[in-house]
């Protein structure tokens, strides 16, 4: 059976999502997106200039990709909602990644405001994917509010530190029915693979690709890593600690009965 | 709370002595640390740290790449008026300089806006001289009403306003505030500003905070290099930026480090600041505040501008003119620039330069929401 990720009414085969900031040029970004074979691409509405003939980022998104506008720059729920509506009105579709950040030091998201924006936008018919600090209760609330997925951070945006929040994300993967997509902090393909092995539905990568010396080839390698991690997860990873040992120091006494 | 209290605390501090007594050990510890403390900031600004410039630059470059990627934001200044009631010794617009003053009519603002927007820029910085009678807030608002039809982000660099006035301008469409303290040395400030509204050190010092309280998205501060010993000035400007970022975490804080340029008049900068010093300043600021916006203006020459780009610069002006109406040449022989610029390249030239250097020129980074 084909392994498909359903979000909203779309069926997605490639579980690598990509962000479009920080690239040295739009043309290089386009090549990286093509090499990654990503189907979901997020774009900050703040950077879209649809009045420009040469500098409209949307002209560089490969055809067939699902465009997920994001609310980068929003400092509260109200601003996120307004940006989402602007994105839809300008033809950006109804997928929205909510980013509410009122902390310019670490760029950590404001979960409370994110929830408020999610509640409003779901009611307005958006497919809402909220970016969040990993927190089980908040993830439940977001899912209950109708979020199409939840997107916890692996570590702070742009830090390339990998999945530092692993313990919390593992709990979310176990408990939340909505897809859990790790967004932010992934520094290298093996981090992305780790997320997929953990059972995450997808990963979203931006900085690690955009600032690499060769964004095109690293995009391709992320694609492979995500596929490898997913396949490993589906195959059932044998865990070392589950192997029976020759002697049974803890339960051996039971045989004496 | 005002940043003034922080300055007061440093008054008894022999900062010059401190900058000359930092050991190699302290610098190495600072460069090895994940987040620079205040002491680490002092260490990286010290004289001894000049020997570690390459190491500091490598670290600054990596931090900048992670946080800002391979991008540089572009903007241009638009001077709408040069009437001024101040007599700042270092400035070409000071009241004592006799030249024909100009203030753009609204039709001229439109003409300038049309031209600038045709270059692709969507971010603009509006400047006036310091004259509440000639360029009142109502006039600035009228100009903003026109400019917002052409630009997605509008910042102002005008005289210090009250919080309420900042609010008024924000509701009209302004999202950024640039205001330089020029010098953090209160006594020197008084000497340099013999008369006019700008003479009020405290009212100017608190202006960035009033802007942040009013809801500005971006607040940029700066010190004019060459007026005083740069290490102390940069130290106090860095602490000012940190103070603002701590108090207003949702505001993007940025800095500029303009060096004095020749202008009409005979003021000579008393303190030299070399290119090497500029590199040290940028790297130290980047290590101290990883997400700080750092602007480099067209006061600097093209070669320096290109070479310091990777070290921490996030914003650059392009196609600049410091004359009122200078973009569309609504100027005459009597007109005067505020200062001479060193990099006269057009927006197109700066864009292709950035592309050659592997940087994406970001022309639009915000919109009216």
Number of domains in chain B: 1
Domains and CATH numbers, chain A: 13-238 (3.20.20.70)
Residue among B137, B158, B154 at smallest CA distance from B146: B154
B369 found inside a domain: no
Active-site positions of A read 97
Residue from B176, B359, B369 whose CB has the most chain A CBs within 10 Å, to mutate: B369
Nearest Cα residue in chain A from B65: A211
Mean per-residue pLDDT for B296-324? 87
Nearest Cα residue in chain B from A50: B364
Mean per-residue pLDDT for B256-282? 83
Relative orientation angle of helices A111-123 and A77-89, to the nearest 10 degrees:
40
Is residue B172 within 8 Å of residue B144, measured between CB atoms?
Answer: yes
Confidence of residue B61 (pLDDT cuts 50, 70, 90): very high
B367 found inside a domain: no
B368 found inside a domain: no
Pairing type for strands A127-132 and A151-152 reads: parallel
Question: Which residue among A46, A55, A103 sits closest to B367, beta carbon to beta carbon?
Answer: A46
Q: What integer best gives the mean pLDDT of chain A?
A: 91
Q: State the burial class of residue A52 (Cβ atoms within 10 Å of its Cβ: 0-12, 13-18, 19+).
A: middle
A83 to chain B, minimum CA–CA distance in Å? 6
**Would you state the structure tokens that stand for residue B190, as one six-digit string?**
């008084």
List the beta strands (DSSP E) in A92-147: 95-98, 127-132
Provide the total of helices (H) and of strands (E) in chain A, helices listed first. 8, 10
Mean per-residue pLDDT for B167-178? 97
- pLDDT at residue A51 greater than cutoff 90: no
Is residue B235 within 8 Å of residue B15, measured between CB atoms?
Answer: yes
Residues in B closer than 8 angstroms to A209, CB to CB, are: none
pLDDT digits (tens, 9 = 90+) for A228-242: 999 999 988 776 555
Regarding pTM above 0.95, the answer is no
B43 found inside a domain: yes
The ipTM value here is 0.84
Give the structural domain span for B192.
3-362
Nearest Cα residue in chain B from A82: B369
Residue scoring higher pLDDT (A256 or B217):
B217
Q: Do B360 and A25 touch (CB under 8 A)?
A: yes
pLDDT digits (tens, 9 = 90+) for A175-233: 999 999 999 889 999 999 999 999 999 999 999 999 999 999 999 999 999 999 999 99
Q: Do A104 and B355 touch (CB under 8 A)?
A: no
How many cross-chain Cβ pairs, A to B, lie less than 8 Å apart?
Answer: 77
Q: Do B360 and A26 touch (CB under 8 A)?
A: yes
Confidence of residue A136 (pLDDT cuts 50, 70, 90): very high
CA distance B213 to A138: 30
**What's B271's domain CATH number?**
3.20.20.70
Relative orientation angle of helices B53-68 and B24-32, to the nearest 10 degrees:
20
Neighbours of A9 (CB within 10 A): 7
Q: What integer best gives the mean pLDDT of chain B?
A: 91
Question: What confidence score (pLDDT) does residue B272 get?
Answer: 86
Question: What confidence score (pLDDT) does residue B265 get?
Answer: 60
CA distance B59 to B285: 12
Mean per-residue pLDDT for B109-125? 93
CA distance B69 to A158: 9
Mean per-residue pLDDT for B170-185? 96
């Amino acid at each position: 059976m084909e392994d498909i990720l359903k979000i909203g009414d779309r069926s997605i085969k490639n579980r690598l999502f990509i962000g479009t900031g920080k690239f040295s040029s739009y043309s290089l970004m386009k090549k990286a997106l093509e090499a990654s074979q990503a189907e979901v691409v997020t774009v900050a509405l703040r950077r879209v200039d649809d009045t420009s003939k040469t500098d409209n980022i949307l002209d560089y998104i490969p055809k067939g990709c699902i465009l997920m506008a994001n609310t980068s720059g929003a400092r509260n729920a109200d601003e996120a909602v307004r940006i989402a509506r602007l994105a839809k009105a300008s033809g950006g579709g109804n997928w929205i990644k909510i980013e509410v950040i009122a902390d310019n030091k670490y760029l950590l998201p404001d979960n409370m405001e994110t929830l408020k924006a999610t509640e409003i936008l779901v009611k307005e018919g958006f497919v809402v994917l909220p970016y969040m600090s990993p927190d089980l209760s908040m993830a439940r609330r977001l899912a209950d509010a109708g979020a199409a997925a939840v997107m916890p951070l692996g570590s702070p945006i742009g830090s390339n530190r990998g999945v530092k929040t692993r313990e919390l994300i593992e709990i979310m993967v176990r408990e939340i029915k909505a897809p859990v997509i790790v967004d932010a902090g992934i520094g290298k393909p093996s981090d992305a693979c780790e997320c997929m092995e953990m059972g995450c539905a997808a990963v979203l990568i931006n900085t690690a690709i955009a600032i690499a010396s060769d964004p095109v080839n690293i995009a391709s390698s992320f694609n492979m890593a995500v596929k490898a991690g997913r396949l490993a997860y589906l195959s059932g990873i044998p865990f070392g600690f589950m192997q029976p040992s020759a002697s049974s120091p803890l339960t051996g006494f039971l045989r004496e009965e | 709370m005002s940043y003034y209290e922080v300055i007061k605390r440093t008054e008894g501090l022999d900062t010059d002595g401190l900058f000359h007594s930092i050991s190699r050990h302290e610098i190495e510890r600072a460069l090895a640390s994940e987040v620079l403390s205040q002491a680490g900031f002092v260490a990286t600004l010290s004289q001894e740290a000049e020997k570690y410039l390459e190491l500091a630059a490598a670290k600054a470059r990596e931090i900048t790449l992670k946080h800002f990627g391979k991008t540089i934001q572009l903007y241009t200044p638009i001077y709408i008026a040069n009437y001024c009631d101040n007599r700042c010794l270092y400035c070409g617009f000071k009241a004592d300089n006799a030249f024909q003053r100009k203030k753009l009519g609204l039709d001229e603002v439109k003409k300038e806006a049309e031209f600038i927007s045709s270059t692709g820029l969507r971010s603009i910085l509006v400047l006036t001289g310091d004259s509440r009678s000639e360029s009142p807030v109502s006039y600035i608002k009228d100009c903003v009403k026109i400019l917002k039809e052409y630009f997605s982000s509008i910042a102002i660099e005008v005289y210090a306003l009250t919080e309420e006035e900042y609010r008024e301008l924000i509701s009209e469409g302004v999202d950024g505030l640039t205001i330089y303290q020029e010098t953090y040395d209160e006594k020197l400030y008084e000497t340099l500003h013999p008369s006019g509204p700008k003479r009020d050190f405290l009212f100017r010092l608190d202006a960035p905070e009033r802007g942040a309280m009013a809801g500005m998205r971006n607040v940029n501060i700066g010190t004019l290099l060459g007026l005083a010993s740069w290490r102390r000035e940069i130290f106090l400007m860095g602490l000012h930026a940190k103070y603002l970022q701590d108090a207003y975490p949702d505001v993007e804080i940025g800095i500029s480090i303009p060096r004095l340029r020749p202008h009409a008049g005979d003021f000579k900068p008393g303190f030299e600041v070399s290119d090497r010093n500029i590199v040290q300043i940028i790297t130290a600021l980047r290590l101290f505040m990883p997400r700080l916006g750092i602007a480099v203006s067209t006061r600097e020459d093209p070669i320096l501008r290109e070479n310091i780009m990777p070290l921490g610069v996030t914003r650059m002006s392009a196609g600049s003119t410091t004359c009122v109406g200078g973009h569309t040449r609504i100027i005459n022989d009597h007109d005067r620039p505020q200062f001479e610029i060193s990099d006269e390249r057009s927006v197109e030239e700066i864009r292709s330069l950035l592309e050659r250097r592997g940087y994406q020129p970001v022309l639009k980074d915000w919109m009216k929401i």
